[in-house]
C-alpha cells in the first residue's frame, strides 16, 4: 500500500462525528430547566429526543432486547426522579448515557456473570500485535450486501469482552469523549484509552477474517 | 519508533490525540512499514464501518411501553 505523506497525515484526525453540536440542540438547557421545575412535557421532549440513541446504547451493551428495554426504561425513570441532582455544567445527554450504561451493565452482569471478573480486565501487551497482515483492497465493505454486513458486525461485536465493548460503544458509537467515557464508567482516562485500543484491534482482527474470505472468493 | 510502540499508539493516532513529536515519529515509521500502514488504515476503516452501520431501531411497542411507564411516573411521582 503506497500512500503519500499528505495522505498519511489524513489518517490522524479528531473524529468529526464527535462534536457535541451533533447531539445537543441549543434549546436543551431550556428544556432541562423547565423539566427541573416540574414541566413534564419538557421532560417528555427530552425523552423523545434521546430514546432511540439510548435504546441503541442499551442494545449494544446488553446484546439482549428484553434487557435493553428494561435498562432504557429504568434509565429514563431514574433520570426523571433524580433530575434535580443533574449539575448543568455537563451535558444532559452525557448524564443520561452514564445512567443508561450503568443500567445496561448491571443487567449484563446478571445475565453473563462469568464474563466479568472481580478484577480489572487483563490488559497485557502480549496479544496486541496483529498477525498475518493483509491489505483488504479498495472499498472492502462494499463487497457485502448491507444486511450481510449488519449480521457480520453483530456477530463480531457480540464476541468482544463486555468491558472492551462498552468503551467502544461509548466512544465510537455514542461519540462521548475519553473523559466523558471515563466519568460514565467510573474508570480512569488511561483505562479508557487502553480498552478502546484493545477493542478496536480485536474488532479489526475479527473483521479481517470476513474481508479476506470475501476477497478470496 | 518500532512496530510494537506504534500499535500501542495507533488508537490515539487515528483520533488525532498524539502530540506533534509523536505524530511525526509515527508518520516516519509508516512511510517505511507497509504492515503498520495496513493496520492503521484497517483500524480507521473498522471504526467507520461500525459507525456507518448502526441501524438499531426503537420498536414501536418498546417505545409505547416506555411512554406509558413515564406517564405513570409523572402522575404518581412517589411510585
pLDDT digits (tens, 9 = 90+) for B38-48: 999 999 999 99
A45, part of any domain? yes
Nearest to B27 among A1, A8, A141 (CB): A8
pLDDT digits (tens, 9 = 90+) for A64-102: 999 999 999 999 999 999 999 898 777 899 899 999 999
Contact list in B for residue A200 (CB cut-off 8 A) is: 10-11, 43, 46-47
B70: its cell numbers: 413515564
pLDDT at A19: 45
pTM of the full structure? 0.85
A93, part of any domain? yes
pLDDT at A124: 59
The count of residues in chain A is 217
Taking only residues 114 to 133 of chain A, the set having a beta carbon closer than 8 angstroms to any beta carbon of chain B reads 125, 128-130, 133
What mean pLDDT, rounded, does chain A reach? 84
Instruction: List C-alpha distances in Å: A79 to A13, A76, A98.
Output: 34, 5, 10
Alpha-carbon distance A129 to B8, whole Å?
9
Average pLDDT over residues B50-60: 86
Instruction: Please check whether residue B47 touches A, CB under 8 A.
Output: yes
A10, part of any domain? no
Instruction: Please check whether residue B50 touches A, CB under 8 A.
Output: yes
A135, part of any domain? no
The verdict on A29 and A107 lying in the same domain is yes
pLDDT digits (tens, 9 = 90+) for A184-201: 898 999 999 999 999 999
Domain residue spans of chain B: 3-75
Nearest to B42 among A157, A173, A204 (CB): A204
A97, part of any domain? yes
DSSP state of A145: -
Alpha-carbon distance A105 to A181, whole Å?
14
The verdict on A109 and A165 lying in the same domain is no
Average pLDDT over residues A168-191: 91
Domain that holds residue A75: 23-113
The verdict on A83 and A159 lying in the same domain is no
pLDDT at A21: 40
pLDDT of residue B79 exceeding 70, the answer is no
Give residue B78's pLDDT band: very low, low, confident or very high (50, 70, 90). low
Average pLDDT over residues A201-215: 87
Q: Residue A132 — φ and ψ, nearest 5°?
A: 45, 60
Instruction: Please check whether residue B64 touches A, CB under 8 A.
Output: no
pLDDT at A119: 47
Average pLDDT over residues B53-77: 89
Instruction: Please check whether residue B33 touches A, CB under 8 A.
Output: no
Contact list in A for residue B75 (CB cut-off 8 A) is: none
Q: What CATH number does the domain containing A179 carry?
A: 1.10.10.10
Average pLDDT over residues A117-138: 68
> Which bin fits A14, alpha (ψ -120 to 50), beta or left (φ > 0)?
beta
Which positions ≥6 away from A190 have C-beta within 8 Å?
none
Question: How far from chain centre, in Å, is Cα A44?
Answer: 24
Domains: count for chain A: 2
Q: Half-sphere exposure of A116 toward its Cβ, with a 13 Å CA cutoff?
A: 15
- Fold of the B3-75 domain: Arc Repressor Mutant, subunit A (1.10.10)
DSSP state of A89: T
Alpha-carbon distance B50 to B61, whole Å?
26
A122, part of any domain? no
ipTM above 0.85, yes or no: yes
Instruction: List C-alpha distances in Å: A215 to A19, A88, A155, A163.
Output: 35, 51, 19, 32
A92, part of any domain? yes
Amino acid at each position: 500500500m503506497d500512500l503519500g505523506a499528505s495522505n498519511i497525515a489524513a489518517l490522524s484526525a479528531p473524529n468529526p462525528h464527535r462534536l457535541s453540536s451533533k447531539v445537543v440542540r441549543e434549546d436543551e438547557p431550556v428544556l432541562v430547566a423547565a423539566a427541573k421545575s416540574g414541566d413534564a412535557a419538557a421532560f417528555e421532549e427530552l425523552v423523545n429526543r434521546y430514546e432511540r440513541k439510548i435504546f441503541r446504547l442499551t442494545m449494544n451493551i446488553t446484546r439482549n432486547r428484553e434487557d435493553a428495554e428494561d435498562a432504557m426504561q429504568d434509565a429514563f425513570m431514574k433520570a426523571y426522579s433524580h433530575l434535580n441532582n443533574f449539575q448543568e455544567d455537563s451535558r444532559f445527554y452525557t448524564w443520561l448515557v452514564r445512567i443508561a450504561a450503568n443500567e445496561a451493565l448491571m443487567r449484563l452482569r446478571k445475565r453473563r456473570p462469568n464474563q466479568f471478573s472481580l478484577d480489572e480486565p487483563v490488559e497485557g501487551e502480549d496479544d496486541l500485535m496483529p498477525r498475518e497482515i493483509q491489505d483488504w483492497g479498495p472499498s472492502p465493505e462494499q463487497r457485502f450486501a448491507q444486511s450481510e454486513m449488519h449480521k457480520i458486525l453483530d456477530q463480531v461485536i457480540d464476541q468482544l469482552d463486555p468491558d472492551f465493548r462498552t468503551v467502544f460503544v461509548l466512544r465510537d458509537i455514542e461519540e462521548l469523549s475519553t473523559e466523558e467515557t471515563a466519568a460514565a464508567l467510573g474508570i480512569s482516562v488511561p483505562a479508557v484509552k487502553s480498552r478502546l485500543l484493545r477493542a478496536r484491534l480485536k474488532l479489526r482482527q475479527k473483521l479481517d477474517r470476513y474481508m479476506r474470505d470475501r476477497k478470496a472468493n | 519508533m518500532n512496530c510494537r510502540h506504534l500499535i500501542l499508539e495507533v488508537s490515539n493516532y487515528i483520533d488525532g490525540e498524539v502530540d506533534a513529536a509523536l505524530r511525526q515519529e509515527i508518520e516516519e515509521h509508516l512511510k517505511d512499514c507497509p504492515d503498520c500502514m495496513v493496520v492503521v488504515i484497517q483500524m480507521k476503516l473498522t471504526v467507520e464501518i461500525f459507525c456507518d452501520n448502526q441501524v438499531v431501531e426503537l420498536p414501536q411497542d418498546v417505545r409505547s411501553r416506555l411512554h406509558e411507564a413515564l406517564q405513570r411516573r409523572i402522575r404518581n411521582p412517589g411510585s
